[in-house]
Amino acid sequence: MQIRPTTTEKDFDVFVDTLHAAFGMFPETPVESGGLWWSALETDRCLLAETEDGRPVGTAATYSFELTLPGQALVPAPGVTAVGVLPSHRRQGVLSAMMRHQLTDLRAQGEFLSVLLASEATIYGRFGYGPATYTGHLQVPRHRSALATPRGVRGAPGTPAPDSATETATGTNGGTNGGAATGTNGGSVEVLSRTECGEILEEVYDGYRRAQPGALSRPHRWWAQRAGQPPISPAPRYVAVHRNADGAPDGYASYSIDSGTLTVDETITTDDAVFTALARFAIGHDLVTKVVFKHVPPEHPLRWQLVDFRAGEVSGAMDWLWVRLLDVPRALTARGWLTDGDLVLDVDDPFLGEHDRYLLTVRDGKADCAPTDRQPDLSLDIRDLGSLYLGGTTPSTLVRAGHIRPHHPQATPLADTLFRTERPPHCLHWF
C-alpha cells in the first residue's frame, strides 16, 4: 500500500468518490451555489491510500484551522477530517498507516497539535487523541422556561432592560416577525432571514471564537462555499441578530421551527448578557411548545437562569473536539496558565513510540517546559494530556478513572490547580 497526497483535480475527484464509498453515501450532484460539505476541503491537504496496483482504498485530510487556547492564545490547528477506508479493506491497518503518515507529515510541517471530531469514540484514542471539549443540547418546555431575576446584582448578565417586561414564560424579547425586539443594555434583537445576514455571521463568529477557548476558526472559504452545517449551509434558517446600543452586531442565534419545536443551531456571542437576551428571544416565541438549544457546553449558565432548574433537560451530551499533542513543550508553553507551580509529567506516546519526562514551570501566567530527569509527579498517556490541555476535564477525574498515575498525594490537587482555566473550553464547529 502507498499513501500519497492528491496533486491533480482528477486525484481530488477520486478522493471524493472513495470517501463517499467509505461512508456508504452517494456523491451529491455539485451545485453552483456550493453547499456540499466537502467543498471546503483544501485540495493540497488530502491523502489517498492506494493498493500496490493503484486502487484507491482510503482517504484522510486536514483543514487549516486556528484554535483558541486557554489565555486566548490563537494557534494553528490542523483539523483531521474525511477519514474513510473502503468496507472491503477495513481492519487491515489502512487507517493506522494513514494516521502515522499524517502525524509524521504534520510534525515535519512544524505543527504541535492536531484536532478532530470522531465519528466513533473508540477509533482515535490509540492514535493519541483525547476528547477535550464537550457539548450537548439543552431542551426547555416553553411553559416552564421562565428565567429568574438575577439575584442581588444590578446590571448582571441577563438583567432585563428597564423597559422590558419582567421574566415570564414568554420571555422579554418576544416577536418574531421582522421587527427589532428589545435586547440587553440598550441593545436590540432583529430577525433576519439567513440570506439577509451578509457578512454579519462570519464577523460575529470570528469575534466569538477568538475569545472562547476550544473554539476553531471558520475560514472564509466555509462561508463562501456555504459548506458545513447550519447556519453556514444553504439550509433555510432565521437568524436573531443582537446589536449593541451602537447598532453593531455582537451576537446571533440561528434557528428553525418545526411542529412546535424551535431549534437553535448555535448561539454565538462572547457576552453572557447577550446570550441571555438571545435565549429570552427564543423562548419568547408564540406557537412554540419546546425550545432546543443545540451546542450548549456543560455547566452553561442558562440552566441556572431557569426558575425551574429541572425544566432544562440535557440531551445528546457528548465529546466534541479531540486533541492530539505532537510537541508537548511547545503545546504547553503556548497556552495561558492561571496559577504558578511546578509539575513533572512522565508522558507515554505508544503510537509514536516515544516516552519523555518534562518539567512544567508556570510563573505569571506563562509556562516553561523542558525535558528533565526529576522524579515525576504524574505519569500519563499522551491522549490524556490532550484531554487536559484545554481545561475540559480535570487531572483528578482521569486519576479516579485509573488513566493517570499520581506519584504522591499532593500531585493530583497540584495538577488540578495548575490545569484550571478561566472558562471551560467549547467548540461547536462541525467539520
Ligand X SMILES: CC(=O)SCCNC(=O)CCNC(=O)[C@H](O)C(C)(C)COP(=O)(O)OP(=O)(O)OC[C@H]1O[C@@H](n2cnc3c(N)ncnc32)[C@H](O)[C@@H]1OP(=O)(O)O
Q: Which positions make up the binding site for acetyl-CoA? A: 83-85, 91-96, 119-120
**Location of C-alpha cell 482510503:** 58
Total residues in contact with ligand X, by rule CB under 6 A: 23
- Quote the distance between the C-alpha of residue 71 and its chain's center: 16
What does the alpha-carbon distance between residue 293 and residue 314 come to, in Å, rounded to a whole number?
Answer: 10
**HSE of 138 in the Cβ direction (CA atoms, 13 Å)?**
25
Task: Please identify, using beta-carbon distances, which residue of 109 and 119 lies nearer to ligand X.
Answer: 119
CB of 350 to ligand X, least distance (A): 11
Which one of 70-78, 94-102, 211-219, 299-307 is the stretch in contact with ligand X (CB under 6 A)? 94-102
Site string for ligand X, 16-55 (x = CB under 6 A): ------xx--------------------------------
Query: Between 358 and 397, how does the x/- string for binding to ligand X read (CB under 6 A)?
Result: ----------------------------------------
Contact 68, 209 (CB under 8 A): yes
What whole-number distance in Å separates Cα of residue 138 and Cα of residue 262? 12
Joined together, the cell numbers standing for residue 79 give: 483539523
85 binds ligand X (CB under 6 A): yes
Return the SS3 of 180: strand
- Cβ closest to ligand X, residue 44 vs residue 422: 44
Distance CA 252, CA 407 (A): 47
Say whether residue 120 binds ligand X (CB under 6 A). yes
Quote the DSSP letter at residue 310.
G
Query: Annotated catalytic residue: which of 15, 65, 112, 124?
Result: 124
Counting beta carbons within 10 angstroms of the beta carbon of residue 339, is it exposed (0 to 12), middle (13 to 18) or buried (19 or more)? exposed
Is position 127 annotated as part of the catalytic site?
no
Output DSSP code: residue 187.
Answer: -
H-helix or E-strand containing 355? strand 354-363
Q: Does 94 bind ligand X (CB under 6 A)?
A: yes
Interface segment toward ligand X; rule CB under 6 A; list 87-95, 154-162, 169-177, 201-209 = 87-95
Distance (Å, whole) CA 211 – CA 196: 26
Looking up cell 467509505 gives 22
**Closer Cβ to ligand X, 22 or 274, answer by number:** 22
Specify whether 23 is catalytic: no
Using the rule CB under 6 A, is 116 a contact of ligand X? yes
* Contacting residue, 82, 192, 197, 274, with ligand X by CB under 6 A: 82
Could you say which of 96, 193, 315, 410 contacts ligand X (CB under 6 A)?
Answer: 96
Q: Name the site residues for ligand X (rule: CB under 6 A).
A: 22-23, 80-85, 90-96, 116-120, 122-123, 126
